[in-house]
Structure 1
C-alpha cells in the first residue's frame, strides 16, 4: 500500500511511534472537535482511546477510501454503530496483545483487595481505626473465569501461583487448552454454584449483554465474589444491587452500567462492593504495547500483507 495521498489517522503523534513506514501521511486526531484534515483521504483509522462511541464513529461516514479501522481496545462494541456507514470490505481490528497484562493485573488486584478487606482497611485508616481480624484468602478458593480469550488466559497466568483450589474456564464454545478444558456458556448453570470467585472477562456482544442477570447471580454460592473487568452491561446492575443489598454476594467492578457511574447512583454505596473507574487497560503498560501494535500493523498494511487481529469485515 503506497500512495502519497493516502493518510493514516493516529491518536498519538506519529513522531512518537518508532518504526512507522514512510508510505503514508500521518494525521494526529484523538477525538477533538476539529478534524486534522479531510477524512476522505484516510485509508487507515486508529480510533481515539477511551472516547465515547459518538466521538469514535463521527468521522467514519466521511471516509470513503477507508480500508482499516484499528481500535486500541480489546472490545469493539464502541465502533459497531458506525460500521453501516462504511463500504464493503473494510477490516475492523482490535488491540489483542495490548491490554492483557494490565487488565489481568487489575483483575487480580480486585480479587485480592476484596477478599482481604482492603477497602474497609483504607476507610479505617482515614478514621484512625485498627481493623484487625481474620479475612478471606485467595488460597483454596475455586475461581471461574467467564470469557476465556487472551485476557482470560492472562488472568489465569496470574492466578496460577496463588494456590487456588481450582480454576474453571468458560467461553462461547467449548474447547481444550494446554491447561485443561474450556466449557461453553451453556454449562454456566452447573458451574456457578461451585465457584467462590467469578471473574467476567468476556466481550460485550448481544449474547453477553445482561449475561450476569438475576438467574446467573442467583446460582452463585452465598458469599461469592463477582469481579467484572469486561464491560458494564454484561452485568444487570439492578439484579446485582438486589444481591448486594441482601448481603448474599460481594462484587468488585472496574466497569459499570451506566458508565461513568453518576453521583448519587445506589451502586456507589451498596454494601460489599469495590468500584474502580474503568482503568483495567489504562496503565503504564498500555502505550508502549499500543505503539508497537500500530507500527506492526501499518508496516504490514504498507507491504500489502494481511493485518493482524481482524475481528470483522464489513459487507
Structure 2
C-alpha cells in the first residue's frame, strides 16, 4: 500500500519530492484531507499554534515521522504522548537561521540607536540629534548556542564587538572559542552589554531569565529574546523596564500574541516585533528544500536529518 504524506504545501509546489507517496495538502483546516490513520509522514502546519499541530496526532496510528517547520518543537510536544513508540520528531534546523539572525541584529541596532524614537520624532517633526549607543565595542552574550546562535555570531562579526561570549546547555569548544555551560551564567551576565536569548524552550530554559537572572545584568544592558516567550519571566522583566535599569527587544512574548492592554506594550525601553524571526521571504524556499530532502531520505529508508527526539 502506498504511504500517505501530509504537507502544508501542495505537492506540485515542491521540487524534488520522491515518487511513490500519496501527498495530501493540510494546513490546519477543520476537515482532514485523508484518514489520519494512513499517514506515515506528517509535516506540521507552520505558525498555526499547538492546538492545530497536535490535533491529528492521536489518530495517526501508523505515523513514522513528524516534521516541524520551526526550529522549536515545544508546540508539538503536548501531543507526543498520543503517538506509538519509535516515531521520529524532526525540527527545521537550517530553515530559520538566516532570518532569525538577521532580525536579531536589526533588533539590537534599532534598540541601541533608538530607531523607534526617531520614528516617533519624525511623526512629530522633531529633530532628535545627540549621541546614541553603538554595537561596536560592546560585550555580547549569546545564551543558546545552537545553529541559530552561531548564525547570530556570524552577523555580529563585522560590527567590531569587544567580546562575544557563548552559552549552551553544556560546555564545548568551537572554532570561534569556548561555549560555556548554563551553570556559568550567573558569573557571565554582569559583564554583558547585550544579552541574546536564542535557546529552545525546555524545562531547563522555561523562566530562565527570571528576577535573579535580570538582576545580574549590568545597568543599561539590553536583553534580546528571539527564543520563546516563556524563556523570560514577564513580570520580572516589566519591573526592570519600569525602573529604567534595563532595556529589551522581544520578538516573542509571554503571553503570545500579546493582548491589547498588556503593560508590555507601553513599557519604557522596550521594542517589540510580533514573532517574525523566521517568517520572511527566506522561509518557503528553505522549508521546501528541507521537505524534499527529508522525504527523499524517508523513501530510501535512510536516517532522517534533524531528529530532535524519538518517542518511546
Partner of 2:120: 123
CA distance in 2, matches of 1:130, 1:8: 57
Partner of 1:234: 231
Partner of 2:214: 217
Describe how 1:61-72 pairs up with structure 2 within 5 A. 61-72=58-69
CA distance in 1, matches of 2:124, 2:136: 30
Return the TM-score normalized by structure 2. Answer: 0.99
Counterpart selection for 1:87 from 71, 84, 107 = 84
Describe how 1:261-276 pairs up with structure 2 within 5 A. 261-276=258-273
CA distance in 1, matches of 2:41, 2:275: 27
CA distance in 2, matches of 1:112, 1:221: 19
Partner of 1:136: 133
Describe how 1:47-58 pairs up with structure 2 within 5 A. 47-58=44-55
Q: How far has the Cα of 1:131 moved from its partner?
A: 0.9
Secondary structure of the residue aligned to 1:132 is coil
CA distance in 1, matches of 2:48, 2:219: 37
Partner of 1:247: 244
Partner of 2:75: 78
Give the ranges of 4+ consecutive aligned residues of structure 1 lying more than 6 Å apart after TM superposition: none
1:100 maps onto 2:91 in alignment: no
CA distance in 2, matches of 1:72, 1:302: 19
- The Cα offsets for residues 36-66 of structure 1, whole Å up to 9 and x where unpaired, read as 1111110000000011101100000011110
Counterpart selection for 2:298 from 298, 301, 305 = 301
Secondary structure of the residue aligned to 2:220 is coil
Q: How far has the Cα of 1:223 moved from its partner?
A: 0.1
Secondary structure of the residue aligned to 2:179 is strand
Describe how 1:147-158 pairs up with structure 2 within 5 A. 147-158=144-155
Counterpart selection for 1:192 from 186, 189, 193 = 189
CA distance in 2, matches of 1:212, 1:23: 48
Counterpart selection for 2:204 from 188, 204, 207 = 207
Q: Mark the runs of 5 or more structure 1 residues left unpaired by the alignment.
A: none
Partner of 1:314: 311
Q: How far has the Cα of 1:87 moved from its partner?
A: 0.5
Counterpart selection for 1:162 from 141, 159, 162 = 159
Q: How far has the Cα of 1:129 moved from its partner?
A: 1.3
CA distance in 2, matches of 1:12, 1:53: 19
Paired positions, count? 312
CA distance in 2, matches of 1:284, 1:220: 35
- The Cα offsets for residues 250-302 of structure 1, whole Å up to 9 and x where unpaired, read as 00000000000000000000000000000000001100000000000000000
Return the TM-score normalized by structure 1. Answer: 0.99
Partner of 1:43: 40
Secondary structure of the residue aligned to 2:148 is helix
Q: How far has the Cα of 1:77 moved from its partner?
A: 0.2
Partner of 1:182: 179
Secondary structure of the residue aligned to 1:45 is strand
Secondary structure of the residue aligned to 1:114 is helix
CA distance in 2, matches of 1:23, 1:89: 23
CA distance in 1, matches of 2:96, 2:49: 19
Partner of 1:10: 7
Secondary structure of the residue aligned to 2:196 is strand
Q: How far has the Cα of 1:68 moved from its partner?
A: 0.3
Secondary structure of the residue aligned to 2:157 is helix
RMSD between superposed Cα atoms in Å: 0.5
Partner of 2:31: 34
Q: How far has the Cα of 1:23 moved from its partner?
A: 1.4
